[in-house]
A and B are shown apart, each in its own frame.
Chain A
Amino acid sequence: MRTVSVENEVVMADDGTVEPAAARRATIDRDNRETVGDVTARNPRMRCRDVSVFYGDKQAIHDVSMDVGNNEVIALIGPSGCGKSTFLRCLNRMNDTIDGCRVTGNISLDGESIYDTKMDVVELRAQVGMVFQKPNPFPKSIFENVAYGPRIHGLTQDKSELEGIVHTSLEKAGLLGEVKDRLEEPGTGLSGGQQQRLCIARAIAVNPEVILMDEPCSALDPIATARIEELIDELREQYAIAIVTHSMQQAARVSQRTAYFHLGDLIEIGETSQVFTNPRHQLTEDYITGRFG
């Protein structure tokens, strides 16, 4: 007779030998391209289901489903060309600007499909803000960089209210202390890290629900990177954040959930702590341990 333990992990036979009941976390084979892990978030802000992206005839993303949850950071990782940035850009319809790009499947923000014909794309991009790899402040003053969005979206009645929004946004972006005495100076005169925080302040100023970040630290030094990472952690309390990063350490540091893309497929998604200690798919493991790139 064989007895299985309560935890169902170990089996002991009559002769006293013990064997595992099952390899609970057997690594999934490289050829299997089904998504492994739970695609849902506890408190979803955006829901993406069966999203595919085509550039002309070429399919860049294959049936990707995942939620972007409120108060959490989801990191999208994977080798170059895996589709993580393409996928990120679907979330606020940045792909609309690319000729021949077609998105299928469903992406919704708070239950409303963002690809609906009635969707106001300008409004969508305010609700789903984006921060890019290279800081791209407008060639205007620091103040105007942040004030521009609230002004065109008609979020303020008068100048003092606008000033209030600019100050709050700069403060939330951790930049106010460094720039408050020189708000009229050009944004382009700031350091790289400061410019990136200015871009984050600009995104925050229009009351977004979701912030997308496409390699926001790749042009920054380690100190500026640490500041942005600290900021991301603070922003998480108010927003849903999706970040594309090439730095696996950064993904491990800043995110609560991690999604691993490979050749346009979402291979594995799960709690960051699980993905980085015990990935279930062989491809994820090969990538994060540096066995191929």
Chain B
Amino acid sequence: MGQSGEGHIVKQFDADLMQLHGRVLEMGGLVSDQLSRALKTLDDQDVDAARAVIERDRDVNVLELRTDEDIAKILARRQPVARDLRLVLAVSKAVTDLERIGDEAIKIARMTIEIYGREASILPGNELLDDLELMGHEAQHVLRGALEAFDTMDVDRAMSTLGMQDRVEKTYKAALRRLVTYVMDDSRNVGHMIQIALVAKALERIADHARNVSQYVVYCVQGTDIRHASVHMAQSGR
């Protein structure tokens, strides 16, 4: 797991922690896939695939429950301290964020059904959906970065994803501004605009949850809680 030091004298403790760490990666892989599929349903206008995404969220929830059970067992049986304790806490928080990413992915799938699942529905123009594609890529990028950082417990990798999340935030704000101009051009867009704004919000939330996962990596390795540390933008040229 990228940390120095020997294994525990009690080998089973190593195995327990390894399994816990693995759960985050397993769950991360699953929600990452859910997100990709949800975005694809939008692109493909595939209502059936969207329903499948919603159905599959059950697997995400099951993984969350299992992980919580494992955590309770480890706390009761091993009383972890120091970096072991930090890992258990980090996993506990990470799975909560990952589960929420799963929930946000469902919102995207629901929009596919909402827009393309009705007969005689007016379809949104591509210009409305362009921002979602970009945000989708960015959110996936942040999530991948966070999961890779968690996999290897790499603080540098984790810190670099924090900056990526900032970009998602900017894209989100730009997208909202653009959506408003489309509505002003043609008020019939307002229904789609609201749907698309909600999906954009979901993607922004996903990147935010992924950033949290990166922050748990820093906490786990360094013992530093950076969740509310202010990150100032460079002031150059201003």
Q: Tell me the complex Cα distance, A232–B30, Å.
A: 50
Docked-complex contact B234 and A289, CB < 8 angstroms: no
A25: interface (CB < 8 Å): yes
Contact stretch, chosen from A13-21, A34-42, A58-66, A208-216: A13-21
Docked-complex contact A289 and B155, CB < 8 angstroms: no
Q: Tell me the complex Cα distance, A24–B231, Å.
A: 17
Which B residues lie within 8 Å of A2 (CB)? 234
30 pairs of residues in contact across A and B, judged by CB atoms under 8 Å: A3-B234, A3-B235, A4-B232, A5-B232, A9-B224, A9-B229, A12-B233, A12-B234, A16-B167, A17-B160, A18-B163, A20-B222, A24-B224, A25-B222, A276-B85, A277-B81, A277-B85, A277-B86, A277-B223, A279-B82, A284-B82, A285-B5, A288-B82, A289-B83, A289-B84, A290-B8, A290-B13, A291-B5, A291-B8, A292-B9
Which A residues lie within 8 Å of B83 (CB)? 285, 289
Main secondary structure of the interface of B (DSSP, over half): loop
Docked-complex contact A10 and B84, CB < 8 angstroms: no
Docked-complex contact A13 and B234, CB < 8 angstroms: yes
Given contacts A286-B5, A290-B10, contact A16 B222 (CB under 8 A): no
Docked-complex contact A18 and B8, CB < 8 angstroms: no
B223: contacting residue among A1, A3, A16, A25, CB under 8 A: A25
B79: interface (CB < 8 Å): yes
Docked-complex contact B232 and A3, CB < 8 angstroms: yes
Which B residues lie within 8 Å of A12 (CB)? 163, 231-234
Q: Tell me the complex Cα distance, A6–B231, Å.
A: 9
Docked-complex contact A291 and B222, CB < 8 angstroms: no
Q: Tell me the complex Cα distance, A248–B223, Å.
A: 20
Q: Tell me the complex Cα distance, A159–B224, Å.
A: 60
Which B residues lie within 8 Å of A286 (CB)? 5-6
Docked-complex contact B230 and A5, CB < 8 angstroms: yes
Q: Tell me the complex Cα distance, A27–B164, Å.
A: 28
Docked-complex contact B218 and A20, CB < 8 angstroms: yes
Interface positions of A from 58 to 110, Cβ below 8 Å from B: none
Q: Tell me the complex Cα distance, A19–B231, Å.
A: 10
- Give the distance to chain B from A151, nearest Cβ to Cβ, in Å: 44
Q: Tell me the complex Cα distance, A237–B124, Å.
A: 72
A10: contacting residue among B4, B79, B164, B226, CB under 8 A: B226
Q: Count of A residues near B, CB < 8 Å?
A: 40
A-B pairs, 3 with minimum CB distance: A278-B223, A16-B163, A1-B236
Interface positions of B from 151 to 167, Cβ below 8 Å from A: 155-156, 159-160, 162-164, 166-167
- Give the distance to chain B from A20, nearest Cβ to Cβ, in Å: 6
Docked-complex contact A7 and B233, CB < 8 angstroms: no
Docked-complex contact B81 and A248, CB < 8 angstroms: yes
- Give the distance to chain A from B12, nearest Cβ to Cβ, in Å: 11
Docked-complex contact A290 and B9, CB < 8 angstroms: yes
Docked-complex contact B163 and A17, CB < 8 angstroms: yes
11 extra A-B contacts, CB within 8 A, seeds A10-B230, A289-B83 = A4-B232, A6-B230, A12-B231, A12-B234, A13-B234, A14-B234, A20-B155, A282-B4, A290-B13, A291-B7, A293-B9
A183: interface (CB < 8 Å): no
- Give the distance to chain A from B134, nearest Cβ to Cβ, in Å: 16
A231: interface (CB < 8 Å): no
Docked-complex contact B5 and A282, CB < 8 angstroms: yes
Which B residues lie within 8 Å of A24 (CB)? 222, 224
Interface positions of B from 172 to 188, Cβ below 8 Å from A: none
A121: interface (CB < 8 Å): no
Which A residues lie within 8 Å of B166 (CB)? 16
Docked-complex contact A291 and B9, CB < 8 angstroms: yes
- Give the distance to chain B from A164, nearest Cβ to Cβ, in Å: 43
Docked-complex contact B232 and A19, CB < 8 angstroms: no
Docked-complex contact A289 and B224, CB < 8 angstroms: no
Docked-complex contact B81 and A18, CB < 8 angstroms: no
Q: Tell me the complex Cα distance, A5–B230, Å.
A: 6
Which B residues lie within 8 Å of A279 (CB)? 82
Q: Tell me the complex Cα distance, A26–B85, Å.
A: 17
Q: Pick the most buried of B10, B81, B222, B236: most chain A CB atoms within 10 A of its CB.
A: B81
B117: interface (CB < 8 Å): no
A18: contacting residue among B82, B85, B231, CB under 8 A: B231
Q: Tell me the complex Cα distance, A13–B222, Å.
A: 21
A223: interface (CB < 8 Å): no
Interface positions of B from 71 to 129, Cβ below 8 Å from A: 79-86
Q: Tell me the complex Cα distance, A12–B226, Å.
A: 14
Which A residues lie within 8 Å of B231 (CB)? 5, 10, 12, 18
Which B residues lie within 8 Å of A276 (CB)? 81-82, 85
Q: Tell me the complex Cα distance, A91–B234, Å.
A: 56
Q: Tell me the complex Cα distance, A157–B55, Å.
A: 85
